[in-house]
Amino acid sequence: MTLQFPTTQEITHVVRNRAYPVEQYIGRSFCPVTPLYTYEIKYDELGATVGMTKAHQVGTNPKTAPVPIMEEKRIGTAYWKETSRINEKELLEARAAGSFNQRAGRDLVMLRAMSFDIRLETRIEWLAWKATEGHIQVNEDGVKYDVKYKILDKNKVTVPIAWADPNADIIADINDALLLYRGTGGKAQTIYFNDATAALIAKNKGFRDLLKYTSVSITGIGTVIPGLSLMIPGVKFVMYDGGYMDEEEKFQPFIPDGSVRIIGGYPGEKLMDFGSTISLHNGGLDKPQPGKFSIVEDKSSHEKNPHIDITVGIYGLPRLFHPNWIIDIKQPQEVI
């Protein structure tokens, strides 16, 4: 039984700060995590069939036709892992949030592991959105590389007039971008943009004028999607302001301000995924497994300096199978 001593003080509320709730991350809707039982990422790409059957003259040899070729793609893998040590002093002083005298050593371990899992989910989300930009650049703690995904230059669209200009034709800009799906085998499915871009669209006089005599009235960012859906039916518009607070406490949105990301697809065909490669942290030396890992090493009772080590991570990278199904619309200059 825990003794509770009277006190003239009381903690009535516990504040939990977060930059953006990870349970609302949406990257896995188009970039799911796929387990790969290998140490590096490879896949085969079968080329498209082009042309059509040639005309033939009876009595002559038929012409040889071009056939699709299969090409092996290799992007290796990447290692995402970090650790933290909870020392003896922290374990002894651990107090449950909202209490004065309730010990919470195990709660501290769980909170630290959960914090690391949030950071890991943020990394996976960041990787998914960076892949849709066409490259992932990493330069952290001595780890430096650049993974390129070969998104076509024509799919990186800069609008002719910034959307902050009342003369800009936002609907025409998006419709022109949608025409880029011709000949790709895919169709535009979802169009993403963040709150700042929605505010830019909502302020645009040309866009508001187009809707003046319709059932949609643009009164703020919350009414932008009904307006766009009315003018451009057949695709889904999503306003997504996901992001993270960097270690300098600056918010970093996954979709840049002023950018519109169009994600395409085709029934039964996968656009992309996050290929999770094997790790010794999962399954050990004999049967290493893919997936996230969370290792808690409890050395709180058998060491001269008691401590608990927590290690969380995942190995892998996004695989973008159809880079021509992604279109990025940008503004001609910094407008937000």
Phi–psi pair at 84, nearest 5 degrees: -150, 145
d(CA 219, CA 84): 48
Q: What is the pLDDT of residues 306-329, one digit of tens each?
A: 898 999 999 999 999 999 999 999
Does pLDDT of 112 surpass 90? no
Per the CB < 8 A criterion, the answer to whether 29 and 254 are in contact is no
Provide the pLDDT for residue 100: 53
Q: Rounded to the nearest 10 degrees, how much is the dihedral formed by the CA atoms of 244, 245, 247, 250?
A: 130
d(CA 75, CA 148): 9
Helix (H) or strand (E) holding 93: helix 88-93
**Contact partners, residue 211, CB within 8 Å, separation at least 6:** 217, 218, 227, 230, 231
d(CA 251, CA 20): 10
Residue 31: count of CB within 10 angstroms of its CB: 24
The single-letter code of the amino acid at 296 is V
Q: Rounded to the nearest 10 degrees, how much is the dihedral formed by the CA atoms of 21, 235, 198, 178?
A: 120
The SS3 assignment for 290 reads coil
Provide the pLDDT for residue 19: 61
Per the CB < 8 A criterion, the answer to whether 186 and 264 are in contact is yes
Share of the chain above pLDDT 70, in %: 90
Q: Which residues are 310's β-sheet partners?
A: 84, 296
**Contact partners, residue 283, CB within 8 Å, separation at least 6:** 289
Residue 33 to residues 27, 120, 125, 317, Cα–Cα distance (Å): 10, 13, 10, 10
Mean pLDDT value across the chain: 88
Per the CB < 8 A criterion, the answer to whether 124 and 27 are in contact is yes
Written as six digits, the tokens of 79 are 């290692």
Give all strands (DSSP E) within 236-306, no chain letters: 236-239, 243-245, 251-253, 260-265, 272-276, 293-299
Per the CB < 8 A criterion, the answer to whether 39 and 77 are in contact is yes
Residue 136's nearest CA partner among 191, 71, 76, 193 is 76
Q: What is the pLDDT of residues 88-98, one digit of tens each?
A: 888 777 666 55
Pick the CATH number of 28-36+70-330 from 3.10.290, 1.10.287, 3.90.1690, 3.30.300: 3.90.1690
Highest-confidence segment of 103-107, 213-217, 239-243: 239-243
Q: Rounded to the nearest 10 degrees, how much is the dihedral formed by the CA atoms of 79, 77, 34, 187?
A: 120
Provide the pLDDT for residue 7: 46
DSSP state of 115: H
The single-letter code of the amino acid at 25 is Y
Lowest mean pLDDT: which of 109-118, 122-131, 264-273?
109-118
The SS3 assignment for 161 reads coil
Listed by start position, the domains of the chain span 28-36+70-330
pLDDT band, very low/low/confident/very high, at 47 (cuts 50, 70, 90) = confident
